[in-house]
Structure 1
């Protein structure tokens, strides 16, 4: 049994529903990873819209985490083919962070965030106080490990670095 906190759905500010598939099944057989959409007020998938990870990034790549923020789609995408093995850290797989304008889903923009390890069971995106926080998990000590953020104006900022023995996961605000 595989439990994951990765969000497979996200609602945009204009109430479009985005659905992300890693592209794997219980038999560890890969299928193309995609993001699809149901437009606000509709009940069926938008047949004219998709983010096809294989076509944009290469065969075997997957989108592992997704969120909609300020009517943009943010994805955590593998930089190479993703081997569906029974391990928390598949060997030699790095991930990068991309943003998509939903009006142009075939034009990903690579964010200026260091690559990370996989986020097998954790969602790397969290919205707190109207700011998008992005977890960048890396085990090796020579790699950045911590959080970046993007504000409502699209400004990217490194927020915090933590020791590599810890795993940055979802970001929470504790109320007083």
Structure 2
């Protein structure tokens, strides 16, 4: 009974997520889409200038600065108004965010199937099971060396966006 309820909840989550992604791609809410795509573009530009570790550290520091400032602001506001509303993030702190053993097993099984198919295909290509496919793969890799010499991977991602 619990497994079917979790499965139904996950299906609703994924269908809702897909609808939200489609809404973003079709620019149905211009303000929300602009914020999402603008922040992704800013992150990609940051990654072209700084290392991944630096970008993650800066993002974490920005988020931590915002939450600490908001917490201090709410504490001062409560002290001035002499109210006791409690912790401003209490609703978020009370949310359960753990994954069940069944969910972890399901995702690792899907990942295992995907990785096994990739490894089988690479083995087939590198060990020349089919000469034509291996030659096509070699030509593709040779062309990618030229693309890699001209562009950074992040530059390609930005251009693709």
TM-score by length of 1: 0.19
TM-score by length of 2: 0.20
Greater strand share, structure number: 1
